[in-house]
Chain A
Amino acid sequence: MMPPKRSQRAVWLDVLAVVMIVAGSWTLSHGGKSDESVAPIPAEKVADLLHAVIEADRTIYTTHVVERMQEKGITFAAEHWEQRNALPLPAQFLKLAGRLAAESGIGIRYGLISLWPIRSGPTTEFERKGLEAVRTHPERPATSVVTSGRKRYFQAIYADRAVSKACVSCHNTHLLSPKRDFQLNDVMGGIVITIPLDN
């Protein structure tokens, strides 16, 4: 049970970092009435910051937790990690951290989506087009302001590449995977970050 606890701790650290960034940006853009000289941070910048943290956390988890533990034979990562008493896959780690961040109530949402999803596909037109865009131009995110009823949100989709052989082999062999010819460094999907713009 130690590896899951360790991963939970990593998820919490990830969430804490995201919350601090969001809270800081929120304070700067909406609550900085006492210091008029501080300009609000654009949503694109906040999304970039968040993406950097999310990406860094997953990379650290992948290289310094999962791979090291697998190399030492201590444990391994598996999709059904709870049943098999294993570590969550890096993608699951990101989604779990995103769920935890959402449940914190600060308003941030992020997650993984793909045009060839095992579980999560695009649910809006922007998400579908954004995935297409980052597939074509993975070097820059697809961004947009979307609405739900009268609420407005900023959404950014960052390209998510197959950075390791484990990613490629898992998606190419999974029963629910619609695409099975991924190559290393292919864009497999995107990290979608949603930031509320209304108070």
Chain B
Amino acid sequence: MDRPDNQQNRPARWGLKGKLILAMLLVGVFPLLIGLVMAFLQGSQEIREVNGASFEALATETARKLDLVLSDEIARTSRIANDPLIVRALEDRRDRVQVLSEPARQTLTKKSAGQWEARDPAFVKAVTEGRLASLLRQYYTGSELETEQSLPIAIRAATRSLYVTDLTGGLIASINTAAPYHSADSPWWQGAFNKGVGKPYVENLAFDDKLGVYTFTVSLPVMDGIRYQAIGVVHRVYDAKEFLAPTTHPIRFGKTGHAMLIDSDGTVLSCPILPTGVRLADPDLIPLVTQPQPGWVKAPSDGHGGRDTSIIGFATLPETSRITRGSTGRLWHTFVWQSSDELFAPVKHLLTWISVFGLIAVGLLVSLGYVAAVRIVTPIRRLQEIARLIGRGALREPIHIKTGDEIEDLADEIARMNAQLEVAFAGLTDQVELKTQEVQYLQKSTDQILDGVPTPIIMLDQGMGVQYINRASRDTFSLKDLDRNSVGLFELLPLDDPSRERLREEFDALVNEPDHERDGMPSLPRELRDPLAPQRASVTDSARKELHIGLRVYRYEWFQSTGRPGEGQRIGLVLRDTTDESRLQDQLIQAEKLGSLGVLSAGIGHELNNPLFGILGLGEAIQDETDLDQVRSYARDIVQHGKRMATTIRDFTGLARAEGMDRQVQVDINEQLDQALKLAQLAHGGAGLNVQTKYQPLPKTHAVPEELRQVFLNIIANSVQAMQGKGLLSLFTEAKEGMVVVTIRDSGPGIPKPYLQKIFDPFFTTKGQGSGTGLGLTVANRIITKYGGHIQMESEEGHGTLCRIMIPVHGPSHPRGESA
């Protein structure tokens, strides 16, 4: 019934519908995002590579085209240099000049230069309109070329100056007056003349102040008829922009894509956007695009002022660069570029379209996910409701879920399960009723059994509260049925405080004891006690598990009982009325005491009888003895026997107390053994005995001599009595391992095996009434034990007995005191 509450209290969480929508969204979005990124990266990469390769190809093609144009132009100019008229004229001039002395040559040069600078009409006319000048003009206009070849107008228009110098650098012919007269000091002249060897020379881009434009020049040596030596130089000046633009400027693609020409210093020779003569703004870009081999590069800037990443194709003009390298050391390169915005526009368009498509896809995913989730979740929720109704047992309607999939199968299974549950529950109810009846019967039976027991039984819980009392309890203690759930034990039983305290301690011990100790009731410590020792009243009270309730005495026992699940163990208390039994036991103890006293008296008689017979024997011997010394010896023995009797009496009146008071001295054990032998022979008649003694020298032992002698006497007396005065008695002494070992062997009948273990018990004797107290060996054992030694008895029935007494040489530092 609390399930709805649990559902209400359940923390907010994602429902199955939300999870399904989220799952479909994630499944769709992640691949979409990855696809978008991959498409963008791959598209960018491919566009870079395709455009780079295209730019490289275009740069190479442009370089090849420019190279052809420049090569054609150099070839056209070289025809001027190879023209036989010019060659012959310069050979004549060489022959004339070389015969002149150096001063005469300088004078001539200075004079001609002055005339040229002063624009001497005759001189100017000779230079600009002479035969060679006319020839130059024909080459300039193209009329000197083959008919099938036409000079490009742009080339002619770009030519700003064309003239020829002789081998001294002096001007000999020109198409205009823009040329200087003396050029021998010019780099281009020295480069082309090349010490008379001759070499094509292409001068780099430079701003011509007179012309006001950027120009480059081509200088070719005029070789003599056998091409042995240079005899002059043909020099041609071009407007760089006008010459190169017709080749580079038409190469445009897109809005910004174009080709341009730069030298290896990054100076622009021709560009549709940048002015000629400027240097590329980014110096880091120059080494990237002036490689000797054609290629393309992804550059950090575009060379046109932009800082965007750019794709730039480049290539070197191979033939032209061969000349420029030998001339100025610089190479000419083409440079093909398109702005990044335009270049990457397809990628951006692609990204935009993919993004739009992605958004649409996400929307579709959410919508489809919602529809799918609703279709999946609705029957599941219906199943959830059905399960809840089944749990309550409130399902009344049949289950109708038709989805045509696993959910429908699940619904069928739940319907089947519900039917089986109904059947199972029906049988279970009957079983519960049956078991309940059995439990009730067992409870009633148990109550009747317990009520039939005449002994009071009380069941307690863990808090010592009374849970149950039987009829005997009610009758005994005049109680009614428990009308409360929990009544304290001491409210039922009127006990004195010590009894309550004892019961509580025992109860707590039971409750708190470990499980493995609960197999029995706690037992009081058992201690062995000497029956002759005075009994302690406290021990008697506690050992007796008795309770005094009113005038009656009850013995009680605790027991444990399994409690209900979760309630722990129950403790039971059984009380047995032992009022009459206790009285009988007291009487029995009293009788035992009296019996013990009789035995004690017999024992005293036995102990006193031995020395008394000794005294009697000695007295009779004195009567017949005439030797005074012998009489004195007998008298001394009589005195010793008297002392022994006094000692025996003293021992019986207080064994340990009396022994403890004697002073210990250094004792010769051989001597004491010998005296004990004599006494035994006197007391028990040793005439038929064959006594063998073998004493070894022994160290002195610290002891009371009488005690040791009594030990030996008791044991020898037992042997003599056992042999009935006949047989072999052997006495040996030896010192071994710090002990004195006294061995007494007899040839008597031996001790039966069952008795062997009891011979040291008090009052155990095999002798007839009045022959022994059963205390002889007991006393001997206690004395030897007191000195830290022990007695071994070995006997086999029919083969005599061997007694081995082992006494420490120095004895214990503190002999064991006996409290009783």
Contact = CB atoms under 8 A, between A and B. Distances in A.
B225 A124 contact: yes
Contacts of B228: 109, 148, 151, 153, 194, 196
B316 interface: yes
Contact of B91 (A85, A149, A194): A149
Given A83-B321, A148-B224, A153-B228, A103 B197 contact: yes
B226 A153 contact: yes
B418 interface: no
Contacts of A109: 228
A155 B226 contact: yes
**Chief secondary structure at chain A's binding surface:** mixed
B548 interface: no
Contact of B226 (A99, A103, A124): A124
B292 A85 contact: yes
Contact of A149 (B199, B224, B318, B322): B224
B736 interface: no
B318 A105 contact: no
Contacts of A150: 95
Given A83-B293, A83-B316, A148 B226 contact: yes
A105 B197 CA distance: 9
A181 interface: no
A114 B86 CA distance: 25
Contacts of A133: none
Interface in A138-152: 146-151
A102 B227 contact: no
A82 interface: yes
B292 A84 contact: yes
Interface in B291-343: 292-293, 316, 318, 321-322, 325
B102 to A, nearest CB: 17
Interface residues of A, number: 23
B91 A103 contact: no
A110 to B, nearest CB: 11
Given A83-B318, A149-B91, A103 B227 contact: no
A143 to B, nearest CB: 14
The winner among B194, B199, B227, B292 for most chain A CB atoms within 10 A is B227
A127 to B, nearest CB: 8
A124 B95 CA distance: 20
Contacts of B318: 80, 83
Nearest to A80: B318
Interface string A107-128: 0010000000000000110100
B796 interface: no
Contacts of B226: 123-124, 126, 146-148, 153, 155, 194
B95 A123 contact: no
B422 interface: no
Contacts of B111: none
In this complex, the interface size class of chain B, counting residues with CB under 8 Å from chain A, is: 20 to 34
B94 interface: yes
Nearest to A113: B227
Contacts of A126: 226
A147 B316 CA distance: 41
B805 to A, nearest CB: 113
B630 to A, nearest CB: 142
B195 interface: yes
Contacts of A84: 292-293
Nearest to A85: B292
A108 to B, nearest CB: 10
Interface string B676-699: 000000000000000000000000
B197 A99 contact: yes
A41 B280 CA distance: 61
Contacts of A103: 194-195, 197
Interface in A147-168: 147-151, 153, 155
B620 interface: no
A42 B702 CA distance: 152
A123 B318 CA distance: 25
Contacts of B227: 123-124
B318 to A, nearest CB: 6
B167 to A, nearest CB: 11
A83 B226 CA distance: 32
B195 A149 contact: no
The winner among B91, B226, B229 for most chain A CB atoms within 10 A is B226
B92 interface: yes
Contacts of A124: 225-227
Nearest to B318: A80
A102 B224 CA distance: 15
Nearest to B227: A123
Interface in B159-212: 194-197, 199
Interface in B756-815: none
A82 B195 contact: no
Nearest to A120: B227
B91 A82 contact: no
A194 B224 CA distance: 13
Contacts of B194: 103
Contacts of A147: 225-226
Nearest to A150: B95
A153 B321 CA distance: 34
A151 B96 CA distance: 12
A155 B226 CA distance: 9
Interface string A168-194: 000000000000000000000000001
Contacts of A123: 82, 223, 226-227
A99 B195 CA distance: 11
Contacts of A153: 226, 228
The winner among A82, A84, A126 for most chain B CB atoms within 10 A is A82
Contacts of A194: 226, 228
A127 B95 CA distance: 23
A150 B92 CA distance: 8
Interface string B82-108: 100000000110110000000000000
Interface string A65-105: 00000000000000010111100000000000001001101
19 contacts: A80-B318, A82-B322, A84-B292, A84-B293, A99-B199, A103-B197, A109-B228, A123-B82, A126-B226, A146-B226, A148-B91, A148-B228, A149-B92, A149-B94, A149-B225, A150-B95, A151-B224, A153-B228, A194-B228
What 10 pairs across the A-B complex have the smallest Cβ distances? A149-B91, A148-B224, A83-B292, A102-B197, A149-B95, A148-B225, A150-B95, A123-B227, A146-B226, A148-B226
Given A83-B293, A196-B228, 6 more contacts: A82-B325, A109-B228, A147-B225, A147-B226, A148-B91, A151-B95
